[in-house]
Structure 1
């Protein structure tokens, strides 16, 4: 029986804004419905929890789980949930004041840079699951979902072609683009947010570091693209260095 691997992908720090990093992350799971059920249960628990003020409950009704607007207490609950989900996370970081990024900007469009990062993030992942049925979900980017879908389908198709040529395989990949109503994407939104909080801010707050410590066992790999540095369970990233 062929296994099915699901990848959920989102970015933080657009190519053309003034953030310090472009961050592109994904998580892999083979139980997406379990992830969905767990997130939905947490949502219901928060709505029914008297500890949260009415305005905070109303905000999560309007915005859902979106890390940049959720209350810190909700964030802590969400990160504690991430710690027990059946997921493995992979994070690519590209520093924008690096020589690599400057060279890319000189020779590539913003979409081409984004696509190069997708390729870096997914190539090894899909190589390892090349015998699976791979379902890849991107969050919407820009204002034209159909155009973005065509773009990412093209990137994934090229990755699959290279994998097939190298391993004489016949990799199966289905690509789709979902909006924020897909609660499974809130997990990768929260993963990206913790990296933004650590690496974009001047001062690293204790609560942010605590949340990172909670989810760190779920992070299988961090790739610092501008330095070609890899961090994994054997070589953990020093959050004070970068």
Structure 2
């Protein structure tokens, strides 16, 4: 059990990569705090973990609010007495507009969750970990490296997460806190469910993957668990693409 006696927080754990990662941590012995803005889906993830013999609690969080994220960490310490792994995973996509047409409110809405929420998670977790060490994992995206149309706030926020991961790793190394990230490509989650409804569009998107198919949340969760484990103890300050090579070739 790689995570026996460890406590992990997973934000955005009500669905997709977050749910799969919370379940993966629990299977490997961690006590898991399932955090999500949606109380129904978050509670479902926690219940599913407990039904399989794992240890999990659900705590609601709005990652666009520092007070909410700080409270999440404090409630975790109150429940389990420690925090070893913080997976800042919660994220949203923006409504599609060209940059010159993008509503300012839509820009701020996207950045508030995807960028500021990660900062809040890093800050709150680091203060809880600095006396014992730990691992902070952030979800970026291959769209933090490559551009697509009508995705300006998403690109801006995910690109920021890449550099935030590097900067935080440098600041926190003295406390034995590792900070790493993942950059998923096309993964079968609710975020892409609308694309699936258009077969022609979905086929085009899948062809952009080296092996022509989307990944699964479980495949990403395996990478997250590895990065959080002692097996990755010499990995720090990097964001790892989990994308079947999608960011590596010209389409």
What's the TM-score, normalizing by structure 2? 0.34
The structure whose Rg is larger is 1
Structure with the larger RCO, 1 or 2 (CA within 8 Å, 6+ apart):
1
